[in-house]
Chain A
Amino acid sequence: MKTIVKVSRRNFLKVSGLAGTGLVLGFGLASGKNKPLNNIFEPNAFLKIGSDNTIIIFSKNPEIGQGVKTSLPMIIAEELEVDWNKIKVDQAPLDSRLGAQFAGGSTAIKTNWDTLRKAGATAKTMLLTAAATKWGVDAQQCKAVDGFILHTSSNKKLSYGELVEAAAQLEVPEEVALKSKADFKIIGTAKKGVDNQGIVTGVTQFGIDARAEGMLVAVVEKCPVFGGKVVSYDASESLKIAGVKHVIQLDAISSTAGLEGVAVVATDTWTAMKGRKALKVTWDYGEGESESSEKLSKTFYENVNKKGEIALRKDGDPEMAFESAAQVHEATYELPFLSHVTMEPMNYCADVKENSCTVWGPTQVPGSVSRLAEMITGIPRENIQVNMTRVGGGFGRRLMADYASDAIAISKTIKQPVQVVWTREDDVQHDFYRPAGMFKLKGALNAQGELTAWEVKATTTSRYLFRGSDNSPHATEIFPDGFPAGFVKNFNMEYTPVKTVVPTGAWRAPGHNITAFVDQSFTDEMAHLAGKDPVEFRLELLGDGNKEMPYDDHGGPTYSTGRLKNVIKLAAEKSDWKNAKKGLYKGFAAHFMFGSYIAEVVTISLDENNIPKIEDVWAVVDCGIVVNKSGAMAQIEGGIVDGLGAAMFGAITVKGGKSEQSNFDKYKLIRMKDAPHVNVHLVDSDESPEGLGEISLPTISAAYANAIFAATGKRLRKQPFNEYINDTSS
């Protein structure tokens, strides 16, 4: 069965090729008509076919390690009917014709799925029509196979390259047929990353590898205390160093788009770093100096032990339910700030000229960079070119473009291209951290061991509040429709935001990276209190049949209990949940987020000192249709390792208004010996593709903590676990 889809002609661009050499297709061009012929060579559309059979597919979104540079072109290639091994993939720059271009919220596949399929199918349809016209046959008798159009009855065959000139003369079809899933040859297979060879030979360019003629390098000193200001600076020693060219004070743009600081600009990176060491800056620390993790923790404790400022959800009569319960249980969880520490430190290049500006580097939000460039330089956006390099990790840090605004401001001042490079210390000390917070949970059971009431009192250093938005400070901190809401008759959720100078932002699976740990740990606590198997306890709560639960948040508007139960059952089955083996202990967790479903099982053993060792991890995921099997599994494997590492080791602690950690010596990341083997099962599904890049992270800390409880009877409610694992007081 084929699906016929409407193609809006108004939004579809067709550009005939220069001297008939190609066909370029792109959606969303507002003024696409009568573009000059030389547009053919602009890398700003979805695909380009040359008369020499060169097929270039453009990847529109930033590649931050989530694999979109491979998976997005796979979707186009599927409908275009080309041999995957014969196409070339290029990174597109920022280009309004390509629609929204960013990396965030696990949305690249789901939001581009239809558009990219249509882009491929439309080109294929035009090539089919061109061939049929040439042969004087019905297009229905022709088919597209691996970059050729075949006339089945006569065995006539023309390559796409031979047809582009004729195809480029055709009207863009109003309707195109999309392939059915059963006919997919590329989607659903495992394709290797298109940049793999370049990466392993060191030739692939990351932002930090970009160079332009006459480019200088800048490092920027920022106030070590959050929110501080420059009083004065003495650059005399810096300027004595051979190679140091400029020392410039940078004005603040805002607390999120660029802090004030002093930039040292030199001929090369090391000289710029040395120049900064010799710089003397006098700071006004302001009120920030009094902030500390200890103080915040006290505030958190007060907040969860009083009525919350915002009532987020109330079902039934929780007060009455707790009073009449057979058993009531309370537990308090606490989570620290986390740093993003992408392996490629922040860096960005800018070349600001009189009336135009070119910028390039690693970002998740090229559109924000463009807006900032316009704001800083006054140059209109149509004269601002934003090029995208491969990004050495994002995890939400590069949703902020503060480091890019430094580069733009410096280049504007010195009238030369410049690359801003942050050291790891700059990165760790000037991050937008994962919010810290505390969650107090209370649950009630009746005499049958059924969950009758659930209460959560939460408090976090809200990132929306930090941004200056007083509206919905709970957004992406806590989710009123998340499990078990809707399955417990009496339910209460309260939230109290905490304002702090410590910058906070999105960190892989924002909010969920805390709430899934808390909810899935406490679900396990209640299951054990009820004397029930944790898997059975969850299935019992979810009930019989399939229900669409309202979910008024990203990934909604509803979620399916049937799909959630399916991953839970599959994970139990694959991990052999029910069969206990001597010396092995299992922990379970499951979650819905960003449109997808996951269940995870961690199996641990204990050494002679009762130190847990992870033996095995199982993850079962339903994200709808999977585009790239290898890339999808990589995201699940990597997210689990990342989530375990953060839970075991990760913590930014604040004292005197600054981060006590500044590099990997004190901000620990998981290394190979602690990274477990992960088994991934992707559910075969016909549902539309949903988010995958973040989903495996949040639940894993709960599954691990639940396994430790199964082994030792000790509940880990505070992260990082490794600090509390031998602590007998909590």
Chain B
Amino acid sequence: MATYKLNINNQEHTVEVSPDTPLLWVLRDAVGLKGTKFGCGMAQCGACTVHLNGNAIRSCSFPVSAVQGDVTTIEGLSANSDHPLQQAWVEADVSQCGYCQTGQIMSAAALLKRKPKPTDQDIDLAMSGNICRCGTYQRIKKAVHAAAEKGGAE
């Protein structure tokens, strides 16, 4: 066991966990932020995507001991739950089961920061690490474009 001070969504959290604990389980079980989902445990599906210093990482395969900097989860993506991507996702009625969508949105948010007006190909590439078994890709793409139009890079 070791003690870690983590900056998550601009708040400091102190957790006592084993150093090999993936950030995913620290977020879900120790901090109680359950919007970040468990999907595969080997960085294959993207359901656990969060931002570390603004970059998308797969928290299921990222040990807490390696975390340096600011972590942003879906709960901290926007102050009022109104990030342009969140709005666009609701508007395009993207979600079916909805389980993968927080991870999808976090990947898309990292993309828009890098590339405020992405092409279809940019989106395909940036979202290639996120699986949706319900097959909502068409609406995800539509929502990413719509958010980009509205200045989603905020």
Instruction: Give A residues with C-beta under 8 Å from B.
Output: 64-67, 190, 192-193, 195-197, 199-206, 208-209, 217, 242, 268-271, 274, 341-345, 390-395, 421, 423-425, 630-631, 634-635, 637-642, 645, 663-665, 669-673, 675, 677-678
Contact of B131 among A270, A271, A343, A394 (CB under 8 A): A343
| Cβ contacts under 8 Å, B38 to chain A | 208, 269, 345, 421
Complex contact B137–A343 (CB within 8 A): no
Q: Whole-angstrom distance between the alpha carbons of A193 and B94 in the complex?
A: 9
The answer to whether residues A392 and B89 also contact, given A343-B39, A672-B127 and a CB cut-off of 8 A, is no
Nearest CB in chain A to that of B42: its residue: A663
Complex contact B35–A201 (CB within 8 A): yes
| Cβ contacts under 8 Å, B131 to chain A | 343, 664, 669, 671
B41 contacts the other chain (Cβ, under 8 Å)? yes
| Cβ contacts under 8 Å, B89 to chain A | 196, 199-200
The answer to whether residues A209 and B34 also contact, given A672-B128, A677-B138 and a CB cut-off of 8 A, is yes
Q: Whole-angstrom distance between the alpha carbons of A425 and B45 in the complex?
A: 13
B65 contacts the other chain (Cβ, under 8 Å)? no
User: Shortest CB–CB separation between residue B84 and chain A, in angstroms?
Assistant: 11
| Cβ contacts under 8 Å, B132 to chain A | 343
Contact of B124 among A66, A342, A635, A672 (CB under 8 A): A672
Complex contact A665–B135 (CB within 8 A): no
Q: Whole-angstrom distance between the alpha carbons of A645 and B94 in the complex?
A: 19
Complex contact B123–A395 (CB within 8 A): no
Q: Whole-angstrom distance between the alpha carbons of A631 and B134 in the complex?
A: 12
Q: Whole-angstrom distance between the alpha carbons of A640 and B42 in the complex?
A: 27
Complex contact A634–B93 (CB within 8 A): yes
Complex contact A204–B138 (CB within 8 A): no
Complex contact B135–A664 (CB within 8 A): no
Q: Whole-angstrom distance between the alpha carbons of A641 and B33 in the complex?
A: 31
Q: Whole-angstrom distance between the alpha carbons of A341 and B133 in the complex?
A: 8
The answer to whether residues A423 and B97 also contact, given A201-B75, A637-B138 and a CB cut-off of 8 A, is no
Complex contact B40–A270 (CB within 8 A): no
Contact of B33 among A195, A202, A423 (CB under 8 A): A202
A-B contacts besides A343-B134, A424-B42, 16 pairs, CB < 8 Å: A196-B89, A197-B86, A200-B105, A201-B35, A201-B75, A201-B86, A202-B102, A242-B1, A269-B29, A270-B25, A342-B133, A343-B37, A343-B133, A345-B38, A421-B38, A673-B125
| Cβ contacts under 8 Å, B36 to chain A | 202
Instruction: Give B residues with C-beta under 8 Å from A.
Output: 1, 17-18, 20-22, 25, 28-30, 33-42, 44-45, 47, 73-75, 81, 85-86, 89-91, 93-102, 105, 123-125, 127-128, 130-141
Contact of A342 among B97, B125, B138 (CB under 8 A): B97
Complex contact A675–B95 (CB within 8 A): no
Complex contact A195–B95 (CB within 8 A): yes
Q: Whole-angstrom distance between the alpha carbons of A205 and B34 in the complex?
A: 8
Contact of B128 among A268, A345, A394, A671 (CB under 8 A): A671
Complex contact A200–B25 (CB within 8 A): no
User: Shortest CB–CB separation between residue B112 and chain A, in angstroms?
Assistant: 15
Complex contact A200–B95 (CB within 8 A): yes
Complex contact B35–A196 (CB within 8 A): no
| Cβ contacts under 8 Å, B96 to chain A | 65-67, 634-635, 638
A-B contact pairs, 14 of them (CB 8 A): A65-B134, A67-B96, A270-B22, A343-B37, A343-B99, A343-B134, A344-B97, A392-B98, A393-B97, A423-B41, A424-B42, A635-B96, A638-B96, A672-B128
Complex contact B141–A672 (CB within 8 A): yes
User: Shortest CB–CB separation between residue B148 and chain A, in angstroms?
Assistant: 16
Complex contact B93–A669 (CB within 8 A): no
User: Shortest CB–CB separation between residue A666 and chain B, in angstroms?
Assistant: 10
Complex contact A196–B93 (CB within 8 A): yes
Q: Whole-angstrom distance between the alpha carbons of A677 and B136 in the complex?
A: 11
| Cβ contacts under 8 Å, B42 to chain A | 424, 663-665
Complex contact B35–A203 (CB within 8 A): yes
Contact of B44 among A193, A195, A204, A663 (CB under 8 A): A663
Contact of A637 among B21, B99, B139 (CB under 8 A): B139
| Cβ contacts under 8 Å, B21 to chain A | 270
User: Shortest CB–CB separation between residue B40 and chain A, in angstroms?
Assistant: 4
Q: Whole-angstrom distance between the alpha carbons of A645 and B75 in the complex?
A: 31
The answer to whether residues A344 and B99 also contact, given A638-B136, A641-B137, A670-B135 and a CB cut-off of 8 A, is yes
Contact of A392 among B28, B30, B97, B105 (CB under 8 A): B97
Contact of A664 among B25, B34, B40, B97 (CB under 8 A): B40
User: Shortest CB–CB separation between residue A661 and chain B, in angstroms?
Assistant: 12
Complex contact B134–A393 (CB within 8 A): yes
Q: Whole-angstrom distance between the alpha carbons of A678 and B85 in the complex?
A: 22
Q: Whole-angstrom distance between the alpha carbons of A660 and B96 in the complex?
A: 30
Nearest CB in chain B to that of A666: its residue: B44
Complex contact B137–A672 (CB within 8 A): yes
User: Shortest CB–CB separation between residue A72 and chain B, in angstroms?
Assistant: 16
| Cβ contacts under 8 Å, A663 to chain B | 40-42, 44
Q: Whole-angstrom distance between the alpha carbons of A671 and B127 in the complex?
A: 8
Q: Whole-angstrom distance between the alpha carbons of A54 and B30 in the complex?
A: 36
| Cβ contacts under 8 Å, B20 to chain A | 274
| Cβ contacts under 8 Å, B124 to chain A | 672-673
| Cβ contacts under 8 Å, B99 to chain A | 206, 342-344, 392-393
Nearest CB in chain B to that of A198: its residue: B98
Contact of B75 among A202, A269, A343, A671 (CB under 8 A): A202
Complex contact B37–A196 (CB within 8 A): no
Complex contact A193–B95 (CB within 8 A): yes
| Cβ contacts under 8 Å, B25 to chain A | 268-270
Complex contact A199–B45 (CB within 8 A): no
The answer to whether residues A64 and B135 also contact, given A202-B35, A665-B44 and a CB cut-off of 8 A, is no
| Cβ contacts under 8 Å, B29 to chain A | 217, 268-270
Complex contact A393–B141 (CB within 8 A): no
Complex contact A64–B97 (CB within 8 A): yes
Complex contact B135–A645 (CB within 8 A): yes
Complex contact B95–A201 (CB within 8 A): no
Nearest CB in chain B to that of A390: its residue: B98
Nearest CB in chain A to that of B26: its residue: A270
Q: Whole-angstrom distance between the alpha carbons of A424 and B45 in the complex?
A: 11
| Cβ contacts under 8 Å, B91 to chain A | 192
The answer to whether residues A675 and B90 also contact, given A270-B29, A664-B40 and a CB cut-off of 8 A, is no
Interface centre among A205, A217, A270 (most CB of B within 10 A): A270
The answer to whether residues A270 and B97 also contact, given A393-B133, A634-B136 and a CB cut-off of 8 A, is no
Q: Whole-angstrom distance between the alpha carbons of A270 and B17 in the complex?
A: 10
Interface centre among A65, A66, A217, A423 (most CB of B within 10 A): A65
Complex contact A638–B45 (CB within 8 A): no
Complex contact A664–B98 (CB within 8 A): no
Complex contact B140–A196 (CB within 8 A): no
Nearest CB in chain B to that of A635: its residue: B96
| Cβ contacts under 8 Å, B95 to chain A | 65, 193, 195-196, 199-200
| Cβ contacts under 8 Å, A394 to chain B | 97
Interface centre among A268, A343, A640 (most CB of B within 10 A): A343
Complex contact A200–B138 (CB within 8 A): no
Nearest CB in chain A to that of B74: its residue: A202
User: Shortest CB–CB separation between residue A221 and chain B, in angstroms?
Assistant: 16
| Cβ contacts under 8 Å, B100 to chain A | 343, 392
| Cβ contacts under 8 Å, B139 to chain A | 634, 637
Q: Whole-angstrom distance between the alpha carbons of A67 and B139 in the complex?
A: 15
| Cβ contacts under 8 Å, B45 to chain A | 343, 424, 664
Contact of A642 among B17, B134, B140 (CB under 8 A): B134
Contact of A65 among B18, B47, B90, B97 (CB under 8 A): B97
Q: Whole-angstrom distance between the alpha carbons of A203 and B77 in the complex?
A: 13
| Cβ contacts under 8 Å, A392 to chain B | 37, 97-100
Complex contact A200–B86 (CB within 8 A): yes
| Cβ contacts under 8 Å, A664 to chain B | 40, 42, 44-45, 131
Complex contact B135–A345 (CB within 8 A): no
| Cβ contacts under 8 Å, B40 to chain A | 424, 663-664
| Cβ contacts under 8 Å, A669 to chain B | 131, 133
